[in-house]
Amino acid sequence: MIQIKDLTVTYESQGECYEALQQINLELPAGETCVIIGPSGCGKSSLLKVMAGIIRDFAGTVTVNGQPVNPERQRIGFIPQNYGLLPWKNVYENILLGVKIKNQINAATGETLTSLLEQLGLTGLENRYPAELSGGQQQRVALARSFLLKPDLLLMDEPFSALDALTREEIQHVFLNTWREHAISTILVTHQVEEAVYLGRRIVIMSASPGMVSQIIDNPLFGVEDVRRRQDFFELTLALRQQIKEMKRNGAK
């Protein structure tokens, strides 16, 4: 369970302080996916950075399974926009990196790694370096690394944004299938409404700067087969898009 209570993040720039996030309250049950969406600059990345332990200066409380968030004590997977792969390490070494750093290689690691390679369509690419992979393949390596670590919390900051539309849909599908097997608590930031509806069991809509939680949607379409072809999928994405547009307009006033 991830719990955020009264979270406020204040930045200082050119001698002035301003709130990037204001009084955020959120709860995410273990083993669910939550997608955060909202206008540019509303503090989505800042929220992820707090949960990743990168931003430590904040007001309020953030706990993972009842303990204050702490990447040294908890396993927190973070996939940044550029995937975070080390260019001098091959696919196999990059995937192992997370468990190696956390000193968590055990008897089952090899078997889990082999099955992740298969699930994510990476078998045969183990010895390649990131520069020898497509964007979609690099993204899948980053996912394999995170799932191998079995994190208490997986954070993804616009993880599929650099991919072309078709590859993006394919990787979203691969992600969801892999996630189903491992049921890892995941929080994902996106700008794309379709992605939010496809991947978010919960969808958190944030309002424009300073970022606040505007609405939390219990997504009735999450996990529904062939959902992208359904009329109600189209209608929900349309409604969300409209809501975010209005928030942008209100924020710009």
Residues that bind ligand ATP in the complex, under the rule CB under 6 A? 11, 13, 20, 40-46, 209
Token digits of residue 108: 């089952």
* End-to-end Cα distance, the chain: 37
The distance of closest approach from Cβ of residue 204 to ligand ATP in the complex, given in angstroms and rounded to an integer, is 12
Closest approach of ligand ATP to the CB of residue 43, in Å: 4
Residue with smaller CB distance to ligand ATP, 209 or 237: 209
Task: Note whether 1 and 62 are within 8 A (CB).
Answer: no
As beta bridge partners, residue 217 has 203
Shortest Å, Cβ 206 to ligand ATP: 7
**Euclidean distance between CA atoms 51 and 74, whole angstroms:** 11
Which amino acid, 105? I
Shortest distance in whole angstroms from residue 12 CB to ligand ATP: 7
Nearest distance from residue 144's CB to ligand ATP, in Å?
A: 25
Show the tokens assigned to 159: 């993880």
Nearer to ligand ATP, 55 or 122 (CB): 55
| Strands of 76-79's sheet in order across | 76-79, 153-157, 186-189, 33-37, 202-206, 213-218
In the bound state with ligand ATP, the residue whose beta carbon lies nearer, of 40 and 177, is 40
Q: Which is nearer to ligand ATP, 46 or 137 (CB)?
A: 46
| Residue nearer to ligand ATP on the CB measure, 71 or 80 | 80
Burial of 112 (0-12, 13-18, 19+ CB in 10 A): middle
Q: Are 95 and 141 in contact (CB under 8 A)?
A: yes
Report whether 211 contacts 7 (CB < 8 A): no
Q: Which is nearer to ligand ATP, 16 or 226 (CB)?
A: 16
Report the nearest approach of ligand ATP to the CB of residue 120 (Å): 26
Helices and strands in the chain: count of H runs, count of E runs:
7, 10
